[in-house]
Structure 1
Amino acid sequence: MARTAYDQGRRVPGGAAAEEAGAPSACPVLGTDEAAAYTDYVHTETLLSLQRPRTGEPAELSFIITTQVMELLFRLIRHHWEQARDALEAGDTAAALAALRRGTGPQDVLVESWGMLSMLTPAEFDRFRASLDVASGVQSAGYRQLEFLLGNKSAGMARAQRGLPVAGAGLERTLAEPGLYDAALRLLARRGLPVPDDVTERDWTRPYTADPRVERAWAEVYADERPGNDLLRLAEALLDTAERVTRWRHRHLMAVKRSMGAKPGTGGSSGLDWLARNAARDVFPELWSLRTGV
């Protein structure tokens, strides 16, 4: 019989008869201190105290938990992307590739997390929507950190968080730093590829815009198909990341369309129009556009 992690606890006598009857042959017996160790490490009691619905609508709990799960995933993905960016700045492509690969797992979970809201009907959402007041996902500092790392910088979005000292300071820092794609382009330039200086030393607080000269530099990377071309592996890893971002944006669009149609967003956005424009915007654009000419 295969043993599990839980079988590492102290064994309880059960005997062959119990095992033949289908009962486990071993069971953990925990003392008070042992039982508290897991809760202390994960902060389970604190975590499970943070779901506070404001209405009697049962679907509101699903909405709150899904949103909180997304915020945790934003935090984890940011951790991996910042590691990848810093590794690229240091010229360590192996470490950058490893960090990007680690980031794809939570990205996939993030995309699928919309499934927890897929059955939310317009009537269910309407019964607790007023309790959100002006709260909206567009205000999420965690999500905005990711957008800044992708190159979608906005000084206005950073200023809006200044009332939150920790979140505001984090956004201001990310606003002023090179993003993940910026670090990749700076690496290409250091490797001798023709990425212009006005791209590699630009104003980092401004959003990244596509440049045909950058597309030509990436085209040179793709022209070298040697197995040892780490820049080609980097380009494909960045594209894996970009594709998952677009999937998440599209699932967000469809979830909103299904639950509330074309109503304006609670935070004052245009709702579907804003989400559709965001979903249509390519992440790391030259990695997509060069494919037409390859």
Structure 2
Amino acid sequence: MDFSQRLSYGDYLRTDTLLSAHQPITQAHDEHLFITVHHVSELWLDLIIRELQAAMALLAAGVTDTPLKMLTRVVRAQEQLTDAWEVLKTMTPADYLEFRGAFGQASGFQSAGYRMVEVLLGNRNPTLLRPHEHRPDLHGPLLAALHAPSVYDLTLHLLAARGLNIPAEVLERDFTQPPTEHPAVLDAWLTVYRDPEQYWDLYELAEKLLDVEDNFRRWRFNHLTTVERTIGFKTGSGGTSGAGYLRRALSIVLFPELWQVRTSL
């Protein structure tokens, strides 16, 4: 029971450092809840980034099996992110108003972790990197990811390597822009989905990517409903339009041909 010379649970996890980051700036009871949910979310986002980057490195090398495990872990972590909103929903509008004005222009919109996840998944918008320009340690990696292929771009390169017709303008597109649906890419996925036995690894990868986007949409929807029930349609923190901004975000499609293929089969 003596851990004076051995590594304890708290030492290993540095729980003192972790818990010391919880620094409410008001006396409002629910501010601690608000900070906790966002801290936990940032940790899950960090794990998602690590798993996505590892999976993408393998996909770039032509490996398809191990990334499926990593993407499954991403999906499970996304579920935890989504469930976090359920805890935050126990905070009423009156509870939130006790401390909302204290954190000024700080907003989840400025989360570098969330932005990196979006960029890796293919939601590209250079303007959204501007809140991080004052932090080169955050802005640099985001900018590099913005100019590199997304997980979907790498998947399309795999299709091309397997002899499926993916046009050069798709493979060599401007990666700083969001993906747009291309008929040739849809035809390639139709080939995969019509013969899953021949293209089983690509078929399974496509379904796993859809799991990721499906969960990403659920997270966004839960975010929207949490905001609506807490502040209604007031202006959001950080100067965003709040619920209006989040509602528009629901229309973003990351892997367009993977959704369209269902209609075309």
Match of 2:127 in 1: 156
CA deviation after TM superposition for structure 1 residue 92, in Å: 0.2
- CA RMSD in angstroms, aligned pairs only: 1.4
2:6 matches 1:40 = no
The letter for the 1-side match of 2:26 is T
8 A contact 1:245–1:283 mirrored in 2: no
8 A contact 2:179–2:254 mirrored in 1: no
Match of 2:182 in 1: 211
Change (3 A) 1:291 1:228: closer
- Given the alignment, which residue of 87, 92, 99 partners 2:58? 87
2:67 matches 1:70 = no
CA deviation after TM superposition for structure 1 residue 111, in Å: 0.9
**TM-score, structure 1 normalization:** 0.87
8 A contact 2:224–2:243 mirrored in 1: yes
8 A contact 1:158–1:175 mirrored in 2: no
8 A contact 1:148–1:179 mirrored in 2: yes
CA deviation after TM superposition for structure 1 residue 201, in Å: 1.0
1:174-221 CA deviation, whole Å, 9 max, x = no partner?
111111111111111111111111111111112222222212211111
The letter for the 1-side match of 2:56 is R
2:21 matches 1:31 = no
8 A contact 1:246–1:283 mirrored in 2: no
Match of 1:249 in 2: 220
2:79 matches 1:108 = yes
Match of 1:98 in 2: 69
Match of 2:264 in 1: 293
8 A contact 2:192–2:199 mirrored in 1: no
8 A contact 2:93–2:231 mirrored in 1: yes
1:77-135 CA deviation, whole Å, 9 max, x = no partner?
01111111111111000122121112122111111111110111111111111012011
8 A contact 1:246–1:282 mirrored in 2: no
Match of 1:237 in 2: 208
C-alpha separation between the residues in 2 aligned to 1:67 and 1:183? 31
2:189 matches 1:189 = no
Gap regions ≥5 residues in structure 2: none
In structure 2, the residue corresponding to 1:178 is in which secondary structure? coil
**Aligned-residue identity in percent:** 41
Looking at both structures, which has the greater relative contact order when contacts are Cα pairs under 8 Å and sequence separation is at least 6? 2
* CA radius of gyration, larger in: 1
1:238-265 CA deviation, whole Å, 9 max, x = no partner?
1111111011011100100111100111
The letter for the 2-side match of 1:197 is A
